[in-house]
A and B are shown apart, each in its own frame.
Chain A
């Protein structure tokens, strides 16, 4: 086993490689043309190899580059390699590589192919930065950068108005979250004497300045924790900032798989787990976080039941699963909080993040293969019968669906879901969140069965579905690999090489097991009965189909509180500030002085003379009059 020492260059290389890939593509795409694509894929491959090599390295915290400093306070680009970042890195690079490969097929005929792969490299760089970040400011930096790459990739087909709007919406919604994130960072920065490195914060919460703050100033701590959480609310699309994620499906499907399902949207959860000590320090914040997660999980699952676009169903499912993870973060913090007993290395939320990343990326890539085969048809009601035409996609999609629904013992999704429900169950005095979790699981089984039955079973409903053929091998291969990763139970103790992902919480409770099995049977069975052999949706629930009218409500808020307010303030500014401070004096001056006439004549000499005279006057006053006055 190669053991890396503390100054191993590997983590830095992992970060810099995709950066240079993106930079080279930005500067040289005209010359490189197709080679740009190769560079991007090669960089992703090497990054994956490095992540594997890092799996058995020691924990380390190398400093890469100074960023800003003043006096004793230094903020650096520093990395933190530990169990959490190693595990997450493996997810990011493995799925990243598979998505790169899949995109070779999916984006083959796209004019903006080179731009696409350049942005993909930029994303790999930014995401690596988040995962390896050693302090909150560095995390914020890369946090914003994944936002940029997400913006670029959602808006890949920027000539389409809906894609352009969706990318803007994603960026702005995230900015609102980041507003809170920054406040949280600043509060910790102030309270911890300018040290926001994760190691420093952890130390401080255990026995330093922040330990005192947490004990004595609960409001401050709660606000700081909620501030950080707001960052996650934006990035991980939690209620009430969830609205951008479904629209983000305007991006190419491989992007939806990598960024908007497996990795970037999970960064919020990753960050919360990184900062678990902050949340544990505030019971109030922990409870709020758990509830926001629970609400998101349930609400998004309800919305998913009535969507007809294959990618949107999956997008709402992602929202819902992210809600699950956030709920787990809050719940575990509620348990651990106050006892100062250290949470173990593997967090159930991270475990679910890992398993979800594999099967959701798989489902998205599968939907990409379907969309590709059906000539960019995304409505599940115009598909049907794909089982015969696309057997490999069918089987892999079935495995992904089973895992998302949590089919007991066989799928990784089962273990991670049980872990979260277990935490919810263990909350002292019981918590309604456990039942919300179970209800969400039932709805998940319902909408996934619906999607699967309508799209893959029955008879083809359109020509597009009828003539669909299996995707090319370069697209099918990633599907197979991901499907295998989904069923290899990560939980298996023999899989030592995946040690980085093992959860800490895995006691089985019979109630949990029975409840979730019932939920699965009930949800799945109802959907099967309702949708088997149907050509249109027998249910018609407007509230769910229209996503609880969030978009409409927000449109009104933006109109009133932004555009109308901006219009009013701009008018007042013109009227008062400009009118009083500029127009009036200008008007008076123009009335009084003949200088105005010179100006209106527009002669160069006129101006020069006037202004030259002014300067001379000033000089005269300063040099000769002032001394006389002063002395």
Chain B
């Protein structure tokens, strides 16, 4: 049994145990801590594995499920998967730790199931299971929004419903795209879902550029819907605003990255020419600029913290797509780093928004103010999230963003300002917009004088732990991004893309 299988199963088993009546908090937090330690251990060990040195998959194992079509429950991890797994266990730990003791056990069950599904998707090597695990993680997300979400009954029902339809439709488009890829690359009269086999086939007998472009675009729409690529994004902000805190943390922080991970892991290696077909690239650039600029303005217009966070989370996806669109090694590594950074920072912010809501009862900026004087520790931790999402150097998001910008702008000695360079320049304006809405929110919540009757306590020490952990992760990775980049060192994400 591969250690990765344990990592995937642990949260699922924990969820099962809680469902069967084990003490919810202890089981759930225990499993999260254990998984965090295991994945940290794996990350340290990973660099020494032979697979890591040659950019392959480590900790591999496969169990054949079906002979024809060839489906096997295969696991394996390269640097990208390890980073995503790290993100998952970190956010899971924070998310289950911060669940208040008076919440029903279903909070823990759902969180653990989302974590298990996400880990399964990130660590599987079989397209079928990658897809299935993601679907598994989506179900508790919908449920929790519909059953325990914020807002009035009918509102959260409609949000859950909208999210379900949206993501369901996206998943179907994705499925069509995946099926297409599988059909195209399955050789010898036998369908295979094994990513390694598909990659070998893609390298041996690549499709024509035109065809790659079309399939890539279908996958882009499918995966893109899951990542809230403009204009397929309108499920995201209301879903996050309505979702219970741990679900918002896990979905915005972790599960949403699945679409990006899929593009990196499945679409780019199998269809390396796809994003470079002119119309596909142009379409992608337009869409990601929609994410950054249009959603930037939309976020500025919001007057409530949960809406700001939800919309800004959509906006920031644009930078990651920019990295994918550029396709250089620097930009792709930056995109991976940014996936991690965004996940941590948005989880931190959603955790704190949840606390604000439960203590004060509102997230509307007009009703808040002056909390900095009551709750200095909370304020400092919120500042970490705020400044990380603004892209302040020293916090993880900046490292990712600057790599995306440098990588996308190019370093070939060329002085041409092409579509990609223009996209970078326009995206840079998004950095200004982020500062506008985040600092406005920070100003109106924490600065100034407190409104009458508004009071908030600093979290006690044990409640600070998850927040401090996330803030520390932002700081450490921000100051020393090499820590994560080392995991990607021999991977050459762009090698296939540059063919």
A→B interface (CB under 8 Å): 26, 65-71, 73, 75, 137, 140-142, 144-145, 148, 155, 158-161, 164-165, 168, 171-172, 175-176, 178-179, 182-183, 186-187, 189-194, 209, 213, 217, 220, 562-563, 565-567, 569-570, 573, 577-578, 581-582, 585-586, 589-590, 596, 599-600, 602, 604, 607-608, 611-612, 614-615, 618-619, 621-623, 626-627, 630-631
Contact = CB atoms under 8 A, between A and B. Distances in A.
Interface class of chain A by DSSP = helix
Contacts of B298: 566, 569-570, 573
A186 B409 contact: yes
Given A190-B411, A577-B231, A179 B175 contact: no
Interface stretch (B14-22, B92-100, B255-263, B424-432): B424-432
Contacts of A612: 139
10 contacts: A71-B330, A158-B447, A159-B373, A161-B449, A562-B436, A577-B230, A589-B165, A600-B157, A623-B71, A623-B128
Contacts of A73: 330, 406, 411
Contact of B431 (A175, A193, A621): A175
Given A68-B399, A172-B435, A586-B158, A213 B411 contact: no
Given A186-B405, A569-B301, A630-B191, A581 B231 contact: yes
Contacts of B424: 186
B162 A168 contact: no
B464 interface: no
A599 B162 CA distance: 11
Contacts of B334: 68, 70
A453 B56 CA distance: 77
Nearest to A578: B234
B392 A148 contact: yes
A159 B449 contact: yes
State the majority secondary structure of interface residues on B. helix
Interface in B260-305: 294-295, 297-298, 300-302
A474 to B, nearest CB: 27
Interface stretch (B42-50, B211-219, B477-485): B477-485
Contact of B393 (A144, A171, A599, A618): A144
B69 A159 contact: no
A66 B135 contact: no
A621 B485 CA distance: 39
Contacts of A614: 135, 168
A214 to B, nearest CB: 11
Nearest to B300: A566
Interface string B367-383: 00010110000001000
B329 A70 contact: yes
A142 B380 CA distance: 20
Interface stretch (B2-10, B140-148, B356-364): B140-148
A142 B449 CA distance: 31
A137 to B, nearest CB: 7
- Top 6 A-B pairs ranked by shortest CB distance? A194-B411, A570-B301, A164-B447, A141-B393, A70-B330, A566-B300
Given A144-B392, A168-B443, A569 B157 contact: no
B454 interface: no
B372 A158 contact: yes
Nearest to A224: B415
Of the candidates B135, B393, B407, the one having the most CB atoms from chain A within 10 angstroms of its own CB is B393
Given A144-B393, A569-B301, A608-B139, A70 B403 contact: yes
Nearest to A183: B425
Interface string B385-414: 001000011100011001101110111111
B179 interface: yes
Contact of A190 (B162, B394, B412, B449): B412
A175 B435 contact: yes
A137 B402 contact: yes
Given A67-B399, A577-B231, A602-B153, A586 B481 contact: no
Contacts of A209: 413
B177 to A, nearest CB: 12
Interface in B186-204: 186, 189, 191
